Structure 1
């Protein structure tokens, strides 16, 4: 730790899921050319809200992969300096209309009231950010894994899910296999 950095506060230790579990009711949509524009609109909104803060913002998830069918939810990752310093980012995002959905160790999630944009906040250099970008970039480049991922999602969405997080967990094995191939392709 550098001598000029204020010591971090302890982070939360449990998952707070604001509003409780929610049933998954969305279907996969074919890729929509408007998704990158929606991302850019929210990137500007986030940048304006956090003016003066040094943040990195990236479009992640399936809507960030041209040609990939996706739930019509724009996922965005924002890297902040200190996840525990919520006063540096959370109040400003809530003031622009985002709602807090998740507060858990090393991660916060805010979303639009329409639930069509999810903003994932992590501390800068959190390995989760690299994992999101690794998957996104690999799916952009590898048609076979893009097809595998889409078919897996279609298969899973044919089932009823009482909680969106359960659907996300069900994709884990396929995502891990794709990430392993992505790391091998990247040479790391």
Structure 2
């Protein structure tokens, strides 16, 4: 993390606004419209956060051409200070997003239709690089892309009471893919 000081202490607990949700999870074949949806929301976020130093990137399965995905476009937005919610959160809410998660180092807002999730982190938060590491590996390696899709399909054939349980069940495969991505990154360096 950077050496700058946050304006105030961050939250110390995780809050899921609205409580636990049981959501239907289904995989869709890759849809080229996801890139356009990201572009629309990138522009919407940039307009809402005019004057704020932000990064805006498409992440998650919908950012990987050819990969089947849940039809939820994930976006990562990076800000200077996560504790300075007045710099970004009110503007995102005014732009039509709804707060879903407030937890240490991370905020999540989403569309009311739950089809776009905007993850907010500080610029140098390690999770941001982890998102890019996985995304870029899946974009560049057909075998890992197929492994990840097959894993998701197998897991979605089961019943899940909580979307977070499904997410956790993918973690072993994700960790293995990221390990190969790190090794490839080191070889290229």
TM band (smaller chain): over 0.9
Partner of 1:109: 108
Contact 1:153 1:171 in 2 (8 A): yes
TM-score (norm 1): 0.96
Contact 2:25 2:163 in 1 (8 A): no
Partner of 1:125: 124
Distance 1:150 1:7, change over 3 A: closer
Deviation at 1:23, TM superposition (A): 1.2
Q: How does 1:13-162 map to 2 (within 5 A)?
A: 13-162=12-161
Partner of 1:171: 170
Which has the higher mean CA deviation after the structures are superposed, 21-30 or 94-103?
Answer: 21-30
Deviation at 1:165, TM superposition (A): 1.2
Number of aligned residue pairs: 186
Deviation at 1:8, TM superposition (A): 3.1
Distance 1:143 1:91, change over 3 A: same
Contact 1:21 1:162 in 2 (8 A): no
Residues 58-77 of structure 1, C-alpha deviations (whole Å, 9 max, x = no match): 00000000000000000000
TM-score (norm 2): 0.95
Which has the higher mean CA deviation after the structures are superposed, 159-168 or 124-133?
Answer: 159-168
Q: Which runs of 5+ in 2 are unaligned?
A: none
CA distance in 2 between partners of 1:80 and 1:6 (Å): 14
CA distance in 2 between partners of 1:24 and 1:151 (Å): 21
CA distance in 2 between partners of 1:76 and 1:124 (Å): 14
Deviation at 1:26, TM superposition (A): 2.6
Distance 1:138 1:7, change over 3 A: closer
CA distance in 2 between partners of 1:170 and 1:8 (Å): 36
Which has the higher mean CA deviation after the structures are superposed, 19-28 or 54-63?
Answer: 19-28
Q: Which runs of 5+ in 1 are unaligned?
A: none
Secondary structure of the 2:135 match is helix
CA distance in 2 between partners of 1:6 and 1:82 (Å): 8
CA distance in 1 between partners of 2:7 and 2:133 (Å): 28
CA distance in 2 between partners of 1:171 and 1:24 (Å): 17
CA distance in 2 between partners of 1:6 and 1:138 (Å): 33
CA distance in 1 between partners of 2:54 and 2:16 (Å): 24
Secondary structure of the 1:44 match is helix
